[in-house]
Structure 1
Amino acid sequence: MEILFLAHRAPFPPDRGDRIRSYNILNYLAKRAGVHLVAFVDDDSEVTPEHRALVDECVLIRRTKSQARAAVEALAQGKPVSLTAFADRRIAATVKDILARRPIDAIYAFSGQMAQYLPAMGPRAIMDFVDLDSAKFEAYADDSRGPMRWMMRREARLLAAHEGTVANRVAASLFVSAPEAALLPGSRAVENGIDTIFYDPQMTTPEKTRHPLIVFTGQMDYRPNVDAVIWFAQAVLPLLPDAHFAIVGRAPTSAVRALASASVTVTGEVADVRGWLAAADVVVAPLQLARGVQNKVLEAMAMARPVVASAAAAEGIDHAGTIRIAIDAKGYASTIKQLFADPAGASALGAAARRQVIARYGWDARLAPLNVLLGLSA
């Protein structure tokens, strides 16, 4: 069997939320079929020969279109910026070439931006939306003002129409969680997993730092992450005068870097996030806008850390009560103080979280539904 895998961002290295999902799906498919990967890439240096060897064919095309150009094209063409930003004749030509010369049995499109490359007629197509982007932009609009609010509402409206059209064309529409899938009728969830062998606290050396330590991990130029750490540092941390807050993740914006102080560390990119997770007395995920399953929460649970999260960050995860949910600044501070004051209880909570992840979120178990959807052998 041969599968064409389309991705809006090269699935390697698996060091951020979307790449973790796409990498593990790609790896799962490549063990069961011949895979032809076509993806955009921002930096060729991140792609190693070992990465390329995972698939039978690997075509990576550097993104060159600026956001400003994408916006102009979107306004002129009546399309969402999210689509024009990833509209590229080179990708279209590559897809057409592979479909012409290879007996492709199925197409797996990862992220809604890649749906524009699905042929009108052709092999069975699976659309992995991951999250419902239209809902995300609707939420952005609610927090925006003036022209930006208009732009966000336009994006949400056009994306919603695009998502509905695509869902009607493909054999199956997938999302990362059941709540997310429920937003688009006829869709289903194929949840994220976690590598509990890699994320094993017994195999990790904790970072040497100040305690008590609160840790947040994530891509730090991603707006929901930026908003979360700014809110936490300004609203919650002052209620915890003895605590130290570490913001761990690549590409921190200027607003995030400005948070650095005697009580806040902004690490930027780190070689291995596990050291910081292992050192954490508490891991927080205070996201107000969160779509699907948050890998940062699964990683902290796998590392047996006590987690305090927003309802939005916990919504897509079957945590079975092994993480704590907080709503406002006082709630976060009170919950974190309780965990600081009871190290044995915090440790037991973290251990229960790891057991839950091992039982519920192995990648092979989470991705098994793809066997039927794509006609793969187990």
Structure 2
Amino acid sequence: MKMSDSLPIGSRSNRLTCAGTGLIALDVIIDKLSSTCPIFKAGGSCTNVLTILSFLGWNSILIGRTGDDQFSKILFDDLHRWGVDTRLINVDSGRNTPIIVEKIDKNRKGEYRHSFSMTCPICGSYLPKYRPLTMKQTSDILNKDLTPCVFYVDRVSNSSVKIAKELKKRKSLIFFEPTKLKKTNLFYECSQLADIIKLSHDKLDKKSSNIFEELNNQLIIETLGVKGLNFRLKSEPWEHLDAFRVQNFRDAAGAGDWCSAGLIHYILKNRTCEGSILGENLVREALMFGQSLSAVNCNFPGARGSMYKLSNNQIMSIALSIMNKRPESFELDLDPKTEDKFTDSMNICPRCSLKCHSYNSKVGLEK
């Protein structure tokens, strides 16, 4: 569904609204264990979180930049399919859309694994990358009547900090989930604006290992992959939540994005008028709900693979059941015959003009 240009930004019935800025890219999912060609889906943490929230019934407003090429059409078609409002995405003429290649295969133990690459899998050329908004584009956006209840940021830039600062004044809840942890002035400025900050343990190194001692946000979350997550409310001790074991595990890509979207959805849907919306019990339940959504999606390839196989009601029902029963592990009864649609004649790389079918031929995926 494409938003009508005549509607005010973020107006779709009386739904909750989340705006977000950061990585807007096209994911090229290459499943080395399948004979299908690469699958093209909208991707990037910010894009995934906003698209998942739209899938869960929110007004989602994506803010950022993309290119004007063959990939942007696929990107926008996918976003519009899920009802994401794309009118604040600047399409740069003559530029290429950012591309991320996800490869899925197995390790020596026979366990599924995935990896991300910003280079062409054949010629090694760098693929088009993320570009932040210009300050002129940012000013134009802030002149709009933009008042979301949540603002999500995954990339630190002058533009994202400026938007966060203004929307903080407009009473938006600021959710900061940096994909890269660089302790710059902009990082600290965005951190201080954030009500919620979510960091991956994988991103921490010796230089940033003490970062949690420096943060004093209302809610801080440290994700630990298969080990679950730790969280701390302001002035409270750290708590731990184990992850769910998935029997038919397929792909962990996007697990963190589902957790973030689930947390946002659950907190805002179940808040009360009394006190802070970040109460301890509500936050714990919201994180478990987010973990449950992540576990469901891990049964499918791609960062949002479950959305193309299951309905909103099915995913919500399964996630709530997992959350309430807290099983040690769970298994979905899936139809193995269902196949996702793919495109077999797209150029992946602007330099070598690699096409999907020629990639399959080179790596032996074609039957």
When you count helix as a share of all residues, which structure comes out higher?
1
TM-score, L = length of structure 1: 0.29
| Largest Rg, 1 or 2 | 1
Flag the structure with higher strand content. Answer: 2
Higher RCO structure, 1 or 2 (CA under 8 Å, sep 6+): 2
TM-score by length of 2: 0.30
